[in-house]
Structure 1
Amino acid sequence: MDPRETHHDSHGDCDHERESIIKEDRKDYFCVDVPELTDEENKANEKFLKIRDELLSDGKLPFLDEYYDSLPVISQSKLYEKLQKMPKGGHLHLHLTASCKIDFLMELSKEDCVYYNEKENKFKIFVDLEPEEGYIKSSEMRENWNKEGTFDEFIRSKILLNEKDLSSKHSSTIWSNFQWKFDLTFDLYNYEKFMEKIILQVMLDSINEKVFVLEFRHIFGCVFNDKHVVVSLQDEIAMFERCLEKAREVEPSFSCRLISCGLKIVGDGHINTQLECCLQGMKETNIIAGYDLVCEEDITPPLTKYKKLIQAAQENSETPLNIYLHAGETCCRDNENLYDAIQMGTKRIGHGFAILNHPHLIDIAREKQICLEVCPVSNLILGYTFDLRWHPAKSLMHRGVPITISADDPGFWNTYGVSLDYCYASLAWDLNLRELKQLAINGIKHAALTDCEKEKQREKFDEEWSKWIEHMNTED
């Protein structure tokens, strides 16, 4: 035999083996609903990749800069402009009391009923009641402010996580700078007249950025009236339904769901109350999708502590109680919340990036189609990663785990909606239009909607996607 033929055959075998390895490696890739792009989509993809790569030219990687250095570069870019117009299916992980544009919240703070206590660093609303000691009308403080800068600049620096708040490399330290901001703005968000304005504004902002399915994480029983009395569950639900009706005047296809949240840091009594509100509310409206447990995962009790409470509620419920649990928002290898979340039957997992440490759970999530609500900017800001190129979601997509993109708490880091998260993800994870389209479809596929509602939302998405592709191909 000619030795050259043997040499040739060995090369052929190597090439065949290489192709087999590549094929096996890519068999679980997450783009199950977008097997390929059309000719028009491929044309748009070329333009999109060119726009994306313009931000990465000359070795620049803005997503690696400090957040408040990268924010203006990315949010004012052509990439952001295009992604803001891109239909995104659903936004499935957004905490209501951290969802509002800072400018909108600042305008509310100018109302005559708003007071501020500088010592306690807290806003309070006084309408029919006399102001408490130490609280001064914010409009007066604004007029009489004699310290450095303006009162509004001072307040913005308190509400937003600033450079100093984010200077630590330890997530728990950043969380300690973050958690109290919910107390600072509690009354601004939970005063019923303000909350209704906020809910509607966030809905309209969602429609504007082509999000047609919005799911709020929400804590019931905090909304209060002019007399500072907590309103009834029925009145609270009615407020959401009024806002949804108004939003549908702008976009008839718009859908909204609420996931009731219990705060693990408060304890059993509070969690039981939230479960009761959730179950009672589900009897009165279909806007409530299910239940969740929240708070910083590394310092609060594990899910096992509350498993019996949730299971008892599920057994006593007249209608199925779906759960959408936060879990795996941690860098701690000993955290076992993901095991319990999946064992308890969670429909989706909030954050969930620590699942990368659990090979068997990855298999279960892929097989059962348990979607991860990934919040890239939040994970970056709160110190769970300092380089989004190494965020677990990038690997999990290749393992076939369904994920969606969400914003978590954008009102505290000077943005709104989910477009910025799509920008950071597309830059750091080298996403193309096929992958972005799948992420958007997942926002419908895994939303807390009926099959009929999902079908209608998918029709709306396909219509809007075609328009956006045409826009990409006709504009310079």
Structure 2
Amino acid sequence: MCLDESKELIFKFFASHPSSECEWKSVEKMRQASPDPEVFDQMLLNNVTMLVENPEEAYPSQNAVWKHFLAVFKALAGLVFYGPGVKDFVHRAMVSMIEDNVQYVEMRSLLPPVYEADGSIHDMQWLMESLLDVNTQLLKEYPTDFSGFKLIYTSDRKVSREVIRDAINTTLQLQAKYPNFMVGYDLVAHEDAGFTLLHFINELLYPSQIGQNLPFFFHAGETDWYGQSTDINILDAILLNTSRIGHGYAITKHPWAMQEAKKRDIPLEVNPISNQVLKYVDDLRNHPAVNLMAVDFPLVISADDPSLWGVSGLSYDYYAAFMALGGAWADLGTLKKLAKNSIKYSAMSIEEKVHTMNIWEKKWEKFIEEIDQTSILHFSG
């Protein structure tokens, strides 16, 4: 590990001691030399998660929390996109979802180069084939519990137009080669600090101009500002016919956007814990999704980056949505609709949705039977 030019911690594997401007140090040797290994372990954990004892002091503003949030991704990149470990990482991540009763996952990723300890680099096709191998393995291991995962290719919204044009071309190529796996495109990272959708309008219109269909899944309106370019992204996302709106935190400030999204049946991906961690809302009872649920706006619940805040799976976000967003009237019907929305608004084919819904219905019936039995036992007791 070492500190880069931004004084942020990064990790990388090497076959032999590297020679570079960065002063690389062995994690193993540093831990052995540490007077208190537990303190050293905590330092490592602090650099790869958002977990702190005093979040109000550690993250006094949105800019502060976003700075650390992005630094965590930088630190993790060298650990995740390492040849011998990338498949294992994705497999473990999916298993944690399956163990939380998640049937299907759509994963956003930048697809960066994957490296080996000797410095060699794998191309994007190698990574795609590796991810497909993991998907195939999971479907064999969990044939009645998992419907697989698919990929949404993403770009950092702070890069140049040329980079976005190349990324869209790459997405189209991957979509043509892996039509049932590469399902769309998105722009990610700190929306308030990045370029708008309008800034990239020529690049985003390019697929339709050449007669190709590229589904969009835009992060839009992940902001608590009003009347800024960031919340206006919601309007442009809808006009660009996005399949879903990631976060869409500011949509309630734009009546036309709410009306048009509902008319077009474009759902919001609501990430309650992420919105709280990144300081968009303190009390989730004040989250804009409370109003959206009240008017039956199409919503799906997502976990965003659960491991970064020390949780796994999706249950924590569902609990937050049920307890805080649904209000006192939330019941099993609320949970049922949110769960079914996840299948309805997914990028699966019609046949895949029918298959997955059939599996889900059986699981739901079993869940209701278990609740009934528990209620009877409690009543009898």
TM-score, normalization by structure 2: 0.89
1:169-195 Cα shifts (integer Å, max 9, x gaps)? 532232122211111221011112222
Q: Corresponding residue for 1:412? A: 308
Q: Corresponding residue for 1:141? A: 30
Q: Which amino acid aligns with 2:338?
A: L
From 222, 235, 240, give the equivalent of 2:126: 235
Aligned mates of 1:128, 1:432 — CA distance in 2: 58
Structure 1 residues 127 and 217: alpha-carbon distance in aligned structure 2, compared to 1, 3 A threshold: same
From 418, 423, 448, give the equivalent of 2:319: 423
Q: Is the 8 A contact 1:366 1:400 kept in 2?
A: no
Structure 1 residues 331 and 379: alpha-carbon distance in aligned structure 2, compared to 1, 3 A threshold: same
Gaps of 5+ in 1: 1-114
1:147-166 equivalence runs, <5 A: 149-161=38-50, 162-164=52-54, 166=56
Structure 1 residues 197 and 400: alpha-carbon distance in aligned structure 2, compared to 1, 3 A threshold: same
From 196, 199, 205, give the equivalent of 1:311: 205
C-alpha displacement of 1:258: 0.6
From 106, 131, 135, give the equivalent of 1:244: 135
Question: What SS does structure 2 have at the residue aligned with 1:340?
Answer: helix
Q: Is the 8 A contact 1:166 1:381 kept in 2?
A: no
Aligned mates of 1:182, 1:411 — CA distance in 2: 12
C-alpha displacement of 1:409: 1.3
The percentage of aligned residue pairs carrying the same residue is 29
Moved more, 371-380 or 131-140: 131-140
Question: What SS does structure 2 have at the residue aligned with 1:336?
Answer: helix
Aligned mates of 1:129, 1:345 — CA distance in 2: 50
Q: Is the 8 A contact 1:233 1:277 kept in 2?
A: no
From 254, 262, 265, give the equivalent of 2:147: 254
Q: Corresponding residue for 1:70? A: none
From 174, 189, 193, give the equivalent of 1:295: 189
Q: Which amino acid aligns with 1:263?
A: D
Aligned mates of 2:69, 2:126 — CA distance in 1: 30
Q: Is the 8 A contact 1:220 1:274 kept in 2?
A: no
C-alpha displacement of 1:145: 1.1
| Bigger relative contact order, structure 1 or 2 (CA pairs below 8 A, ≥6 apart) | 1
TM-score, normalization by structure 1: 0.72
Q: Is the 8 A contact 1:216 1:257 kept in 2?
A: yes
Gaps of 5+ in 2: none
Question: What SS does structure 1 have at the residue aligned with 2:190?
Answer: coil
C-alpha displacement of 1:291: 0.3
Q: Select the structure of larger CA radius of gyration.
A: 1
C-alpha displacement of 1:233: 2.0
C-alpha displacement of 1:129: 6.9
Q: Corresponding residue for 1:187? A: 78
Q: Corresponding residue for 2:222? A: 329
Q: Give yes or no for the alignment of 1:279 onto 2:279.
A: no
Q: Is the 8 A contact 1:116 1:136 kept in 2?
A: yes
Q: Corresponding residue for 1:363? A: 259
Aligned mates of 2:311, 2:2 — CA distance in 1: 24
1:61-460 equivalence runs, <5 A: 115-117=1-3, 120-127=8-15, 130=18, 132=20, 134-146=23-35, 149-161=38-50, 162-164=52-54, 166-167=56-57, 168=59, 170-252=61-143, 253-285=146-178, 286-316=180-210, 319-334=212-227, 335-429=231-325, 430=327, 431-460=330-359
C-alpha displacement of 1:248: 0.8
Question: What SS does structure 2 have at the residue aligned with 1:217?
Answer: strand
Q: Is the 8 A contact 1:233 1:281 kept in 2?
A: no
Aligned mates of 2:339, 2:311 — CA distance in 1: 20
Moved more, 266-275 or 205-214: 266-275
C-alpha displacement of 1:116: 4.7
Aligned mates of 2:153, 2:98 — CA distance in 1: 23
Aligned mates of 1:130, 1:331 — CA distance in 2: 44
Structure 1 residues 337 and 361: alpha-carbon distance in aligned structure 2, compared to 1, 3 A threshold: same
Q: Which amino acid aligns with 1:185?
A: L
C-alpha displacement of 1:264: 1.1
1:38-77 equivalence runs, <5 A: none
Moved more, 115-124 or 407-416: 115-124
Q: Is the 8 A contact 1:302 1:337 kept in 2?
A: yes
The number of residues matched between the two structures is 361
Structure 1 residues 213 and 181: alpha-carbon distance in aligned structure 2, compared to 1, 3 A threshold: same
Q: Which amino acid aligns with 2:12?
A: K
From 367, 370, 376, give the equivalent of 1:468: 367
C-alpha displacement of 1:277: 2.0
Q: Which amino acid aligns with 2:118?
A: K
